[in-house]
């Protein structure tokens, strides 16, 4: 309940807060203070754990009916059977006897030490053949009531009426084609429309304490996942964000979606009590829509990493890397000397076994195909060369491999449509004292996967950043020495050289250390984050020209919206000051700025890939003028309306202010005499009309110039 | 084609005149250009270096020809308000001076200091006339309408809680006594009262301080009449308070990075100005609908970041629209004090850096339209 509500309620009930002594209030005992939670989940969880307390008792039916003389013998047999399956409590076996005939009734109760043992005994001994006519029917005591109520006749189950779910894709149907973004600042998590026309964000949903650590969009933007003590939850829907599903995983730390957002991977690790031990890791894979846990993995952190400095408390996230494409078919895990590839049909290893690759340190999926690239460093002091290989899944066939010599490190970069793979190779110089970098470029879609070696013009340049153009054939590299490195653009195919990589341009001495391509390619932001205080250069790679240079002082994060129309730069709470974000147009014009203290996170809501075919897109691009006309008219209307509204707002504010001023003037006039008395009769009020602003224009004659124009004939 | 320059008076322009002319031209050019320019491009401030420690308070006299400055060094200083010439200092305090006020006829000065005294001075001669002794630092001083009373706030210290004292100021310094006419105890005695001023007709006292609440007290009975609403009020310590010339409204600045404009009689919140740094000082233009906020990153954190991060700017806002108009940069520490000349044609700012910067507005300023 909001504070306002409480106050209103109190006023209604006639409670004066100042008279309430809060210390004297004694809350009813119990964790819920006697108030039942309306959250069903709390209820359910409790029930499942503390049922009636007879969970460790089973009922064994279809025992032989024996007279008193044979009672002990039968008892001995039953005890013998069930002692193998669990520890029966002392006096835990009770076989009732008919008081008239002194015959047993053909059943008995057995109490075990634990419910687990009882469960186990039930499962193992149900259907046990004592002899031909006596086949045990074993049930849990707790189930008995339920079983007794089962009707004798079978009833067809009633089909539940179909309740149409909310349209989870509704945000895509926004008639202004805006994008959404989520921000976290202070305790609040807010979702906004980025309304560039109105030059401000339009709130969609706001909730304080929505998540306990961070939020994340699913890769296609359908869900927003929040993290809680009890587990993760996904939110989405048509208008407001409603909770769609929950995934129980206590103390969940990290989450990851499969690329087609069918599965959610949750991660939890526990610091070991003994610092020498590895931390305990628990990973669960859920089906996003049904909420069912598909598989869980438990173990020490060593099993989920390759050792060395990991990302989060031992294991580097994401532990499971998903194969590209929307099918969510495979995911892979890298651990020491092994690559385990799972498939999602059965959630088990492909061919029931992992791939053994000695010393593998890095794997990387193609973003579109089920091809895994892996890197194995040099071994045996250089006797065995380092290796980069491409492996087809599920066949595990090696498509291509390349041996590399005197390598210190490798990094693999896939181009977003899976056409190219760039491997940045750091090699030792001959003296082994320093390293230099080069690239191995794989053309995946071509026959035999040709490899090309690219070296920078100056071999000794350090490579600071590398980025592929999304969906394109170009890449950008920042190389050279800080503080003013160079930026180069390369293309995998130009009109002259279709099969060769060629350099497009080098920009000298840029204040940049990070590259941000627009998701549609063509435009790139050369950003100088951290040490460069947020220098931004908006660059058009088609024309090779700078569109704008700007600065978002102290900027820490840059993110393009999914359409490549706008870009957000943010200062998050790693800095104390200036927290907030700025929205820019793709060409570097500030649209608006928002300042928020304790700003933690900004994330654009991703969009699923377009349904338009490439031909259709081309056609639209060709006839852009025709289509854009309508939108330009709309834009103009909005801007007219805005200025109109603005004028009205200003007028209202001015009027309101005038009212105050009039009131003050009147009061001031009223009090004139009293004031005069206070000032011992000095006529005082001269200050008001003494000064007034006058516009005075004056011209200075500075000099006179005479020009003699000679016509030269 | 030949060109000849002829001076209309037949004289050579000397260098100085030339400069004047050029600056004239520049100004004119700017007027034609646009009215949307930051103020900084148009003014050359006068830098007044007289204090050795951070400034705490600035005060013009009613005629606007004198400027009094207080600083953490022990000597309040008097300057000529039009050219920044130093006229003299008031020696006698033995601690940081936090506030001052000058009487309407510019004859008396009252100062409050951390040496646990407030002193009355003869403005002209610089002589001490009287010393009020307290058990703790005097934080703020203000003469009443008619200058017969003064309100002085004191900090909490060694079990003494912070309080507001009202002293009678005698016509003749010989008759001056140190007794308080009225003492108001703040509800939260552990928090400093950073400023207290007289309300209309001396009937009320308005106070604000570290407990974030603005209070209006009755000066007759000493009763608390009103206090600011928690919802709309400041969220962090109130650092400064400045009232309009006609005592009808006042402006408060706070560490919560806002300044708020209140009606002085009803304590209604009228306007709120949001900036990006803690506000240490506020001022209202007596001439135009402008308010100025000064502040900056906390002094202790200044050296850790780039100087631009500190935002040591005096920010101008449109009083009515609550929109930022421009900023005046220059200080290399937070701004602690701001004051408008009563004629509204100049203002001065005092910084943590120990400088007073005196700015005369040029004609552009008066033509700003937003």
Q: DSSP readout, A485-533? A: -EEEEEES--SS-TTS-EEEEEE-S---SEEEE-TTSSEEEEEE-GGG-
Where b means 16+ CB within 10 Å and e means fewer, A249-283 reads beebbbbbbbbbbbbbbbbbbeeeeeeeebbbbbb
* Residue A22 confidence (pLDDT): 65
| Furthest C-alpha separation in chain A | 150
DSSP state of A679: T
Task: Give the residue from A18, A646, A670, A671 with the most B CB atoms within 10 Å of its CB, the best one to mutate.
Answer: A671
Inter-residue contact B149 to B166 (CB < 8 Å): yes
pLDDT at A155: 80
For A674, which residue in chain B has the nearest alpha carbon?
B201
Interface check for A679 against chain B (CB to CB < 8 A): the answer is yes
End-to-end Cα spacing for chain A: 93
- A555 CB within 8 Å of a chain B CB: no
**Closest to B248 (Cβ–Cβ): which among A667, A680, A702?**
A667
Looking at this predicted complex, what is its ipTM? 0.77
**Chain A residues within 8 A of B342 when measuring between CB atoms:** 687
Q: Which residues contact B103 (CB under 8 A, 6 or more apart)?
A: B109, B123, B143, B147
- Structural domain spans, chain A: 57-149, 211-320, 323-455, 458-607, 611-638
> What pLDDT sits at residue A583?
94
d(CA A378, nearest CA chain B) in Å: 44
**CB distance A668–B246 less than 8 Å?**
yes
Residue B310 has pLDDT above 70, yes or no: no
| Rounded mean pLDDT for each run of 10 residues along chain A, 713 residues in total | 64 70 63 57 46 76 85 86 84 85 86 84 84 85 79 81 83 87 91 88 90 91 91 86 89 90 88 74 89 86 61 62 84 86 88 85 88 87 85 88 87 90 88 84 89 85 90 91 87 78 89 91 90 88 90 90 92 84 92 89 91 86 84 84 87 91 90 84 58 62 75 56
Nearby residues of B56 by Cβ (< 8 Å), 6 or more positions away: B70, B71, B72, B96, B97, B98, B99, B336, B337, B350
Min Cα–Cα distance to chain B from A242, Å: 30
Q: For residue A693, which residues of chain B lie inside 8 Å, CB to CB? A: 287-288, 366
Backbone angles phi, psi at A646, to 5 degrees: -60, -45
Calculated CA dihedral for residues B22, B23, B28, B31, nearest 10 degrees: 140
- Structure token pair of residue A461: 């340049």
**Between these two residues, A129 and B317, which has the higher pLDDT value?**
B317
From chain A, the residues in CB contact with B2 under 8 A are: 707-708, 710
Residue B28 CB coordination number (10 Å): 16
Contact A708 B2 (CB under 8 A): yes
Q: Answer yes or no: are the C-beta atoms of B295 and B314 closer than 8 Å.
A: no
* CB within 8 Å: A577 and B263: no
Long-range pairs, A435-439, Cβ under 8 A, ≥24: A435/A408, A435/A409, A436/A460, A436/A461, A437/A461, A437/A462, A437/A463, A437/A479
Tell me, what's the pLDDT at B4?
A: 35
Q: Are B93 and B125 in contact (CB under 8 A)?
A: no
Residue A29: predicted pLDDT: 59
- The pTM for the full model equals 0.64
Helix (H, G, I), strand (E, B) or coil at A433: coil
Distances (CA, A) of A656 to B50, B89, B264: 44, 45, 17
A710 touches chain B (CB under 8 A): yes
Cα–Cα distance for residue pair A271/B157, rounded to 1 Å: 48
Could you tell me which chain A residue has the CA closest to the CA of B310?
A577
Q: Is B219 on the interface with A (CB under 8 A)?
A: no
Tell me if A332 sits within 8 A of A325, measured CB to CB. no
**A1 vs B: CB within 8 A:** no
At residue A656's C-alpha, the angle toward residues A651 and A662, to 5°, is 120
Strands of A242-248's sheet in order across: A215-217, A224-227, A231-236, A242-248
* Minimum-distance CB partner of B248 among A553, A664, A674: A664
Q: Which residues of B touch A533 (CB under 8 A)?
A: 306
Give the separation between CA A423 and CA A439, rounded to whole angstroms.
5
Q: CA of A30, closest CA in chain B: separation in Å? A: 33
Other residues' Cβ atoms within 10 Å of the Cβ of residue A98: 11
Where does residue A462 rank: exposed (0-12), middle (13-18), buried (19+ CB within 10 A)? middle
pLDDT at residue B57, as a whole number: 95
Closest-CA distance of chain B to residue A169, Å: 38
Residue-wise pLDDT for B192-250, tens only, equals 999 999 999 899 999 999 989 999 999 988 889 998 888 889 999 999 999 998 889 99
Residue A532 · residue A552 · CB < 8 Å: no
Would you identify the CATH topology of the domain A458-607? Methylamine Dehydrogenase; Chain H (2.130.10)
Asked if the bond preceding A394 is cis, omega within 30° of 0, the reply is yes
Considering only alpha carbons, which residue of chain B is nearest residue A697?
B363
Q: Return the DSSP state at B175.
A: G
Partner-chain contact A704 B342, CB within 8 Å: no
Distance between first and last Cα of chain B: 47
Q: Is A418 helix (H, G, I), strand (E, B) or coil?
A: coil
* Closest alpha carbon to A524 in A506, A551, A545, A552: A545
Q: If you measure CA to CA, which chain B residue comes closest to A658?
A: B320
DSSP A318: P
- In Å, what is the CA distance from A5 to each residue of A11, A34, A567, B228, B343? 10, 22, 39, 20, 48
Does an H or E element contain A517, and which? Answer: strand A514-517
- Burial of A35: CB neighbours in 10 Å, binned 0-12, 13-18, 19+: exposed
Residue A16 phi, psi dihedral angles, 5° rounding: -100, 115
State phi, psi for A692 to the nearest 5 degrees. -145, 150
Measured between alpha carbons, how far is B330 from A496 in angstroms, rounded to an integer? 56
∠ CA A673-B61-B66, nearest 5°, is 155
Tokens 């007596």 belong to: B286
Beta-carbon-side half-sphere exposure of residue A87 (alpha carbons within 13 Å): 4
CA distance A421 to A503: 17
A593 contacts A584 by C-beta, under 8 angstroms? no
Q: What is the mean pLDDT of chain B?
A: 83
d(CA A543, CA A528): 22
Whether the CB of B319 is below 8 Å from some CB of chain A: the reply is: yes
- Asked if A660's CB is within 8 angstroms of B301's CB, the reply is no
Closest among B215, B228, B350 to B280, alpha carbons compared: B350
Nearest to B356 by CA among B22, B50, B115, B66: B50
pLDDT at A488: 92
Report whether the peptide linkage leading into residue B303 is cis, meaning its omega lies within 30 degrees of zero.
no
Q: How far is B149 from chain A (nearest CA, A)?
A: 10
Determine the distance from the C-alpha atom of residue A270 to the mean position of all C-alpha atoms in its chain, rounded to a whole number.
21
pLDDT at A405: 86
- Cβ atoms of A424 and A441 closer than 8 Å: no
What is the topology classification, in CATH, of domain A57-149?
Alpha-Beta Plaits (3.30.70)
Query: Is the CB of B187 inside 8 Å of chain A's CB atoms?
Result: no
pLDDT of residue B6: 34
Query: Fold match between A57-149 and A323-455?
Result: no
What is the model's pLDDT at position A54? 77
More confident residue, A537 or B313: A537
Q: What is the pLDDT of residue A32?
A: 60
Measure in Å the smallest separation between the Cα of A311 and chain B Cα atoms.
29
Residue A421 three-state SS: strand
CA pair distance A118, A121, nearest whole angstrom: 5
Query: Residue A435: its pLDDT value, please?
Result: 82
Q: Which residues pair with A181 in a beta bridge?
A: A192, A604
Q: Which CATH architecture has domain A323-455?
A: 7 Propeller (2.130)
CA dihedral A496, A501, A505, A507 (to 10 degrees): 180
- Give B367's contacts in chain A (Cβ within 8 Å): 695
B276 and chain A: CB distance < 8 Å anywhere?
yes
Report d(CA B228, CA B244) in Å as an integer.
18
Write the DSSP assignment of B266-277 as a string of letters: T--EEEEEE-SS
* Mutation for testing the A interface, residue in B309, B312, B343 having most A CBs under 10 Å: B309
pLDDT of residue B77: 94
Cβ-based neighbours of A276, under 8 Å, separated by 6 or more: none
């Amino acid at each position: 309940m909001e504070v306002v509500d409480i106050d209103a309620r109190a006023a209604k009930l006639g409670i004066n807060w100042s008279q309430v002594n809060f210390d004297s209030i004694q809350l009813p005992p119990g964790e819920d203070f006697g108030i039942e939670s309306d959250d069903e989940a709390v209820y359910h969880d409790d029930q499942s754990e503390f049922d009636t307390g007879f969970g460790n008792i089973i009922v064994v039916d279809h025992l032989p009916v024996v007279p008193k003389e044979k009672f002990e013998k039968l008892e001995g047999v039953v005890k013998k059977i069930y002692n193998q399956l669990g520890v029966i409590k002392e006096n835990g076996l009770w076989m009732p006897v008919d008081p008239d005939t002194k015959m047993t009734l053909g059943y008995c109760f057995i109490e075990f030490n634990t419910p687990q043992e009882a469960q186990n005994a039930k499962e193992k001994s149900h259907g046990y053949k004592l002899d031909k006519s006596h086949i045990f029917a074993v049930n849990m005591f707790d189930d008995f009531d339920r079983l007794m109520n089962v009707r004798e006749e079978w009833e067809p189950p009633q089909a539940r009426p179909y309740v149409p779910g909310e349209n989870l894709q509704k945000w895509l149907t926004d008639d202004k084609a805006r994008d959404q973004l989520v921000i976290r600042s202070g305790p609040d998590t807010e979702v906004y429309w980025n309304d560039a026309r109105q030059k401000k964000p339009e709130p969609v949903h706001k909730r304080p304490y929505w998540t306990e650590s961070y939020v994340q969009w699913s890769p296609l933007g359908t869900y927003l996942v929040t993290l809680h003590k009890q587990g993760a939850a996904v939110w989405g829907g048509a208008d407001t964000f409603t909770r769609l599903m929950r995934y129980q995983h206590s103390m969940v730390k990290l989450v990851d979606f499969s690329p087609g957002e069918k599965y959610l991977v949750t991660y939890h690790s526990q610091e070991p009590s003994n610092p020498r031990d590895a931390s305990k890791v628990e990973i669960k894979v859920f089906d996003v829509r049904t909420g069912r846990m598909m598989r869980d993995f438990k173990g020490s952190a060593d099993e989920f990493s390759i050792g060395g400095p990991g990302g989060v408390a031992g294991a580097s996230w994401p532990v499971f890397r998903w194969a590209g494409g929307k099918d969510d078919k495979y995911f892979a895990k890298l651990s020491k000397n092994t690559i385990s590839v799972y498939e999602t049909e059965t959630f088990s290893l492909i061919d029931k076994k992992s791939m053994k690759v000695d010393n593998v340190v890095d794997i990387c999926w193609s973003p579109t195909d089920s091809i895994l690239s892996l890197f194995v460093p040099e071994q045996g002091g250089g006797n065995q060369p380092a290796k980069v290989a491409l492996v087809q899944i599920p066949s595990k066939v090696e498509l291509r491999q390349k041996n590399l010599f005197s390598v210190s490190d490798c990094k693999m970069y896939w181009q977003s449509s899976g056409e190219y793979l760039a491997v940045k190779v750091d090699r030792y110089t001959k003296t082994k004292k320093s390293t230099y970098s080069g690239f191995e470029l794989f053309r995946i879609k071509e026959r035999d996967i040709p490899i090309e070696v690219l070296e920078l013009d100056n071999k000794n340049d350090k490579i600071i950043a590398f980025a592929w153009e999304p969906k394109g054939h170009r890449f950008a590299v920042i190389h050279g020495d800080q503080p003013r490195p160079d930026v180069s653009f390369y293309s995998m195919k130009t009109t002259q050289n279709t099969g060769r990589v060629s350099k497009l341009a080098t920009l000298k001495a840029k204040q940049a250390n990070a590259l941000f391509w627009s998701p549609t390619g063509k435009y790139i932001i050369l950003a100088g984050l951290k040490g460069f205080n947020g220098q931004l250069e908006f660059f058009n790679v088609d024309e090779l020209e700078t569109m704008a240079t700007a600065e978002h002082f102290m900027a820490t994060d840059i993110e393009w919206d999914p359409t490549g129309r706008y870009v957000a730069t943010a200062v998050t709470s790693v800095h104390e000051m200036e927290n907030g974000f700025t929205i820019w147009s793709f060409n570097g014009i500030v649209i608006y700025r928002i300042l928020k203290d304790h700003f933690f996170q900004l994330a654009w809501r991703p969009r699923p890939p377009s349904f338009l075919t490439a031909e259709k897109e081309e056609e639209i691009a060709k006839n852009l003028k025709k289509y854009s006309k309508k939108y330009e008219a709309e834009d103009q209307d909005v801007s007219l309306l805005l200025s109109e509204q603005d004028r009205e707002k200003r007028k209202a504010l001015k009027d309101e202010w005038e009212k105050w001023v009039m009131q003050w003037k009147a009061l001031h006039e009223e009090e004139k005499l009293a004031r005069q008395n206070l000032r011992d009769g000095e006529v005082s009020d001269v200050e008001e009309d003494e000064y007034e602003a006058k516009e005075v224009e004056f011209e200075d004659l500075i000099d006179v110039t005479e020009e003699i124009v000679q016509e030269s004939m | 084609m030949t060109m000849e320059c002829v001076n209309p008076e037949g004289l050579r322009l000397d260098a100085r005149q030339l400069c004047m002319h050029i600056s004239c031209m520049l100004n004119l050019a700017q007027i034609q250009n646009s009215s949307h320019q930051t103020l900084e491009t148009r003014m050359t401030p006068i830098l007044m270096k007289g204090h050795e420690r951070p400034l705490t308070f600035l005060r013009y006299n009613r005629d606007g020809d004198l400027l009094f400055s207080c600083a953490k060094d022990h000597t309040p200083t008097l300057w000529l308000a039009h050219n920044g010439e130093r006229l003299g200092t008031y020696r006698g305090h033995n601690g940081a001076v936090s506030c001052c006020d000058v009487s309407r006829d510019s004859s008396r000065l009252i100062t409050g200091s951390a040496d646990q005294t407030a002193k009355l001075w003869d403005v002209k001669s610089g002589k001490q006339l009287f010393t009020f002794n307290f058990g703790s630092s005097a934080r703020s001083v203000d003469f009443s309408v008619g200058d017969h009373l003064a309100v002085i706030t004191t900090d909490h210290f060694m079990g003494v809680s912070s309080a507001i004292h009202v002293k009678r100021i005698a016509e003749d310094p010989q008759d001056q006594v140190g007794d308080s006419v009225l003492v108001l105890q703040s509800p939260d005695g552990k928090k400093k009262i950073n400023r207290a001023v007289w309300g209309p007709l001396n009937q009320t006292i308005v106070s604000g301080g570290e407990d974030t609440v603005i209070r209006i007290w009755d000066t007759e009975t000493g009763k608390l009449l009103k206090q600011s609403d928690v919802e709309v009020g400041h969220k962090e310590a109130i650092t400064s308070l400045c009232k309009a010339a006609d005592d009808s409204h006042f402006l408060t600045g706070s560490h919560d990075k806002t300044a708020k404009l209140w009606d002085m009689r009803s304590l209604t919140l009228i306007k709120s100005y949001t900036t990006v740094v803690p506000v240490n000082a506020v001022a209202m233009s007596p001439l135009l609908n402008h308010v100025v906020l000064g502040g900056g990153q906390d002094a202790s954190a200044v050296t850790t970041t780039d100087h631009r991060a500190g935002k040591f700017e005096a920010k101008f806002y449109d009083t009515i629209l609550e929109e930022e108009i421009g900023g005046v940069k220059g200080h290399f520490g937070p701004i602690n004090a701001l004051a408008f000349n009563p004629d509204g044609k100049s203002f001065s700012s005092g910084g943590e850096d120990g400088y007073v910067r005196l700015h005369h507005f040029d004609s552009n300023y008066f033509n700003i339209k937003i």
